[in-house]
Amino acid sequence: MSDGVYAAIGTEGKQVVIAFSQDAGCSTPANISRWIMDAEQCISITQAMADAAFQADTSIKPVGPTLKATLVEQHRMKLTARFALMLNTLRHNPERSDGQIAQSLVDAALSEIF
């Protein structure tokens, strides 16, 4: 976190605990030293944080399924062109088996997703 405030996340029973501190060892409390919440509340906050992080990173505001479909289509077009180029290159090497070519394509797809 910025300004020298650090957070440690853990659980206590069925609750999520976020401990804030002024140092990485969490020994000097920050203005809010502990925040305890139910799992359902934490999931809602996490989704909101993920949406905000996505918007901060991409300058695109998440607006649900419509945006998701647009992003999927953009990635599909990008990967289609990339795979076509990869296939053209990989097919010219007679030493590569179909399995090796397929593995290369899967690796490229997963590197885009994860």
Contact 54, 62 (CB under 8 A): yes
pLDDT band at 103 (very low <50, low <70, confident <90, very high): very high
pLDDT tens-digit series, residues 36-50:
878 888 888 888 888
Instruction: Kindly report which listed range (21-35, 45-59, 99-113) carries the lowest average pLDDT score.
Output: 21-35
- Confidence category of residue 1, pLDDT binned at 50, 70, 90: very low
Angle between helices 98-113 and 65-91 (to 10 degrees): 150
Tens-digit pLDDT profile for residues 65-89: 767 777 788 888 888 888 999 998 8
Q: Could you tell me the CA-to-CA distances from 113 to 51, 79, 87, 104 in Å, in that order?
A: 17, 11, 19, 15
Query: Which amino acid, 45?
Result: I
* More confidently predicted of 55 and 2: 55
**What's the chain's average pLDDT?**
79
Residue 92 confidence (pLDDT) above 80: yes
Q: Which of the two residues, 114 and 51, has the higher pLDDT score?
A: 51
